[in-house]
Structure 1
Amino acid sequence: MSNADAFEAAARAEAANTEARPVVIADGLVTRPAGTAAATVQHFLRFLRSQGLDCVAEPVSLDGEVETLRYIPGASGGEAWYHQHTDEGLASAARLLRKIHDASQAWIPPYDAVWTARPIAADDLVYCHGDPGPWNFVWDDSTAIGLIDWDYLHPGPRIDDIAYALHWFVPLRCDEFALQWHHFPEVPDRRHRVAVFLEAYGDLPAFDVVDAVIARLEAVCDLVNELAESGQEPQRTWVLDGALDREREEIEWVREHRDLLSPR
């Protein structure tokens, strides 16, 4: 599959995602289908807000298969790409992720906690977002002010979220995607953007960026396949539309461009 074909297929998958998970924003509230982990996620969000973090949405209600949260004003979703092009925007997302990770360590999950993503044992355990791409941050101009959509909340190492974020923020993807999907005016200096993100997050042990990103992408493939096989949407539609093949192509691109991506 060519990059252009992959881009078109990914756009179809995103449209399927929107159709499968309708979200209504009105009167300062977000109403959306509740995932299986919604009660656990709302418990977590309430904890973070009790610690003074207003960068996550305030849960309002959970009624059967529908949940309601307080809307965080700002740009997100498809509008988010443009706000993280600058070093300032990139660094602000890394700092926000660090603040949330640090605060999360004091959370005690409920005894019946449900995780959509698989928990991962770690010495420096945090509670990971699981999907910290630019679209799930809320932006005020070039500053990340919120992180939403916590469906894939799970315990794990910081690197789990960091590797995922690097893939999408830098981006550790082909030139065509950087220009067409991420809307950069020119192909960015990926090595520089990796360094900016890691420095802004701060105080990390040495790790191999490329190996970490590859491992994270492989874990994404495993999770999507697992959810699809259980009949869950939109993952089932993604797999039918070739999402796993596209993910594996992205993994190969990262592996083949190690020299371009690893910080010096």
Structure 2
Amino acid sequence: MEERLDGRVNEVVRVGATVRRLTGPWTPAVHALLDHLAGQGFTGAPRAHGTDPQGREVLDHLPGDVPDYPLPGWARADAVLADVARLLRAYHDATAGFPADPAREWYFPPRNPVEVICHGDVAPYNTVFREGRPVAFIDFDTAHPGPRVWDVAYAAYRFVPLSDPRQLPGFPVDGQARRLRLFADAYGLDRPGREALPDTVRDRLAHLVAHMREQAAAGHPGFAHHLERGDDRFYLTDDEHLARHRDTFRAALLTPRV
């Protein structure tokens, strides 16, 4: 029996203790990454089990809660934010020894400097929670080699969150700045990463909007739907918010603790 699960872009079905998803040219690289994570003892990702007779990839189904917007109150707690940052750091550290292979094909091309394998879409809708605490990331399709701050920036954007409060109420600018510092501290982000973080969030949003528009123009129905409901305009408004308050966010990240 197949149970269809919610997917933001791709079709996902559950079959017993596994999930099945369509494959792409990047699937062998992702499965090699998941095998590497398992070998490193990292438990915060599903294991890969090849493909089924229909050619779909087979992955562990990880039980738990996967929140989406509007986020429940528990998902916006400071403790959750810090735990996500620590889980992301553990994931990155587990990928640091993943052997480089220029023949591998990724969903997104590698970004320099290559330090880790970025997940590419760390967000509440790709995080499994149990008893209100994050335990795993899912949906590794967009994984690709890159710098730590590239992944940290998008995760911070989603979990702080760093959206314009007029679009996503909950935390005013001073609250966002405080939580951004909390995220960076819990991750253990170094000073160069902190200096780059606010601008990298903006770069990440520009990359997202360009990708959405490119995929929609190529006929991808999921991305076309996102544009129809105005997701690109939402992200561009958030980019303007980040530009207005860049100095506030940088000060929060770089001011020494007393």
TM-score scaled by length of structure 1: 0.82
CA distance in 2, matches of 1:210, 1:25: 38
**Once superposed, which parts of structure 1, at least 4 consecutive aligned residues long, lie more than 4 Å away?**
none
Aligned residue for 1:201? 187
Give 1:1-264 correspondences, 5 Å limit.
Answer: 18=7, 21-63=10-52, 65-78=55-68, 81-82=71-72, 83-109=74-100, 112-122=103-113, 125-179=115-169, 184=170, 189-206=175-192, 207-262=195-250, 263=252, 264=255
Structure 2: any 5+ residue segments left out of the alignment? 1-5
Larger relative contact order (CA 8 Å, sep ≥ 6): 1
**Hey, what's the Cα distance between the residues in 1 that align with 2:75 and 2:228?**
31
- Partner Cα distance (1:214, 1:20) in 2: 23
Contact 2:164 2:237 in 1 (8 A): no
Contact 1:172/1:261, CA 8 A, preserved across alignment: no
TM-aligned CA deviation for residue 40 of structure 1: 1.3
**Greater CA deviation, 224-233 or 193-202?**
224-233
Deviation at 1:242, TM superposition (A): 3.7
Which consecutive unaligned segments of at least 5 residues does structure 1 have?
A: 1-16
Kindly indicate whether the alpha-carbon contact (under 8 Å) linking 1:101 and 1:128 is maintained by their aligned counterparts in 2: yes
- C-alpha RMSD over aligned residues: 2.5
Residues 219/254 of structure 1: CA separation in 2 closer, same or farther (3 Å cut) = same
The change in CA–CA distance for 1:148 and 1:32 in structure 2 (over 3 A counts) is same
Give TM-score, length-normalised by structure 2.
0.83
Q: Give the share of equivalent positions with the same residue, in percent.
A: 29
State the alpha-carbon separation in 2 of the partners of residues 250 and 189 from structure 1.
16
What is the CA–CA distance in structure 2 between the aligned matches of 1:44 and 1:19, rounded to whole Å?
A: 22
Report SS of the residue matched to 1:135: helix
Q: Secondary structure at the match of 2:97?
A: coil
Q: Is the 8 A contact 1:59 1:68 kept in 2?
A: yes
